[in-house]
Chain A
Amino acid sequence: MGLLVWLEATSFADWVRSSTIGYPMMIASHAIGMAIMVGLALALDMRLLGRFQSIPYAGLHRFLGIAWIGFGINFLSGAALFAAQATSYVTDVIFLSKIGLVLAGSVTAALLQTAVGRDSSRWAPAAAPANVRLIAIASIVFWVGAIVTGRLTAYL
């Protein structure tokens, strides 16, 4: 807790919290990163589950690479937003659930990206194998959960 108190007291955290542009800049970046990461991850999930069958799996692989740019934006903007209110976030169950869901979503995205890059040339165009589809369903659940809990964080 001492570390978080220190973090919250840094001049950077104070800038995020109370300057005119700090908080709006971080919150807008966080929405942009979310759109890129979650939007592309959901599109890949739907493809693996059998939608848009005319799109080759390999064609979406590079887009998952772009998705990680969104992840990077949100890691940085999220760290800044966390620093601004570290001590209250760290005890917030909704916030902690969100972080767990984001990590779980990121793991599924990485697993699916690896599987598409390595194995998709052997998959039927209609839909990916059952174990891959299962991860795709989990990915959708994690990302939707992350969005809902992330939004609710503002209310607690």
Chain B
Amino acid sequence: MDAIADWMQSTWINHLVIGYAWTWPTLESLHFLGLCLLMGALLIMDLRLIGFQRIIPLSAVHSLMPVAVIGFVINLVTGLGFLFGDPNTYFINSAFQIKMVLVLLAGLNFVLYYVKVDPLLARGAPTAATPMLAKAVGAASLIFWFGVLTYGRLLPYLGTGGG
């Protein structure tokens, strides 16, 4: 881990992120905007999966997916910026570690959605009641992503200094 941190700190990305006073606050603002895009799209898609507002066809709610992906990519890029800027602080931070595990779980849940739930929904009527698996995957998605948001925000307050 030390070798990776040393390498990260030797890159031009590290210089860009910590060499200028405005880079970090700019990345933070973009990270917050990205999370709003991601969470807003997820709230509508996942609550619809759970069964809320069935007047929206399932295929229609799916058109929000690009917004979620754009939000996620913004946060992946800006998040990597933070990591390259200050790797030693993040790697040993327990809130960061939990956050990354939750991102992984959210990713696996997303794979489950695409492999199992999406084909299942394609067979039903667009506004029919969703199967139990779809409701479970929608609920899990909201739990994991709100967990990611919570642990991300708690990062400066939890587990700093190797705790």
Contact = CB atoms under 8 A, between A and B. Distances in A.
Contacts of A144: 33
Interface stretch (B4-12, B86-94, B112-120, B149-157): B149-157
Nearest to A61: B53
Given A62-B53, A148-B29, A151-B29, A35 B35 contact: yes
B98 interface: no
Contacts of A151: 25, 28-29, 32
Interface of A: 23-24, 27-28, 30-32, 34-36, 38-43, 46, 51-52, 54-56, 58-60, 62-63, 66, 143-144, 147-148, 150-152, 155
A57 to B, nearest CB: 10
23 contacts: A27-B154, A32-B146, A35-B39, A35-B146, A38-B36, A38-B40, A39-B36, A39-B37, A39-B43, A43-B64, A46-B67, A51-B63, A52-B60, A52-B63, A54-B59, A54-B63, A55-B61, A60-B44, A147-B32, A147-B33, A147-B36, A148-B29, A151-B25
Interface in B126-163: 146, 149-150, 152-154, 157-158
Contacts of B149: 31-32, 35
A40 B43 contact: yes
Given A38-B36, A39-B43, A152 B25 contact: yes
B39 A59 contact: no
Contacts of A43: 40-41, 44, 64, 67
A35 B61 CA distance: 19
Interface residues of B, number: 35
B158 to A, nearest CB: 7
B55 interface: yes
Nearest to B32: A147
Interface string B12-47: 000000000000010011001101111111111001
Given A43-B67, A46-B67, A144-B33, A54 B60 contact: yes
Contacts of A55: 56, 60-61, 63-64
A155 B25 CA distance: 8
B57 interface: yes
A144 to B, nearest CB: 6
Contacts of A34: 32, 36
B157 A23 contact: yes
